[in-house]
Amino acid sequence: MHRSAPRLTRILACAAVPVMLVVAGCSSDSGSKGSDPAGGSSPSPGASAPGGGQSPVPLEPAKYAKLPEPCKALTTKTVEELVPKVKNEAGTAGTSNDTAARGSCSWNGLEDKGVKGSDYRWLDVSFQRFASESGIGSGADRARDAYEKEVSAVKATEKAESVSASPAAGVGEEATAVAYGLAKSGEDFEYATIVARTGNVVMTLGYNGTGFAGAENPDPAQLMKGAMAAAKEAAASVAKAN
């Protein structure tokens, strides 16, 4: 006995259902290669750490690991030219509780010219080195901040007169020359100060003088010329020490 066409169609449709489900199941699996067994998506390559935080960027290593000996940063010839009749050619070292991070040295002298009076000169140089520290910054960045603060401090010297500042070319990576006059102990002193940065080190060189008992005060331009020459020498000593 032959089945009717409508009944046969219904039987074939029902028989095909399991096959469609299997195919659908396979299609679902093939389209979810990035899913885990629980149905969640696996992390994609390059995804950020939990919480969305990024890995910290490594700090730039400090350029210089040590400082020069301050009292040897200038040659004896330079000291004698800038400080006539210098008391101690070897210089007087400043106190420091960490010579790897900071140090200084100074020289002074008084040249007696008899009835023409006396010329007094003072020369000093100081260095400060900054290390790269996580959470604080790189040595170079810290030195830049210290350099700017030092320039501001010199320009703001108490009771200084006729203060002028200008870039000091050829001294380290960046430098500023500051000139001013200052009255103290009843005498008028002229000052020339160079603040420079080279890598992670800040250097400050000061040169000043006055004339006693009728001697003329030093010419500010000549004083600055001498300070610039010494500053270039001192800044170069940083690289030589490393």
Spatial strand order in the sheet of 118-129: 92-93, 102-112, 118-129, 201-212, 187-198, 174-184, 161-167
Chain mean pLDDT for the chain: 84
Please provide the size of the chain in residues. Answer: 242
Mean pLDDT of 132-149: 96
Its pTM stands at 0.76
Q: Which has more pLDDT, 75 or 44?
A: 75
pLDDT of residue 51: 53
Give the residue carrying structure tokens 């010219």.
113
Write out pLDDT tens, residues 173-189.
999 999 999 999 889 99
The residue assigned the tokens 């020498």 is 233
Residue 127 CB: number of other CB atoms within 10 A? 28
* Spans of all domains in the chain: 70-241
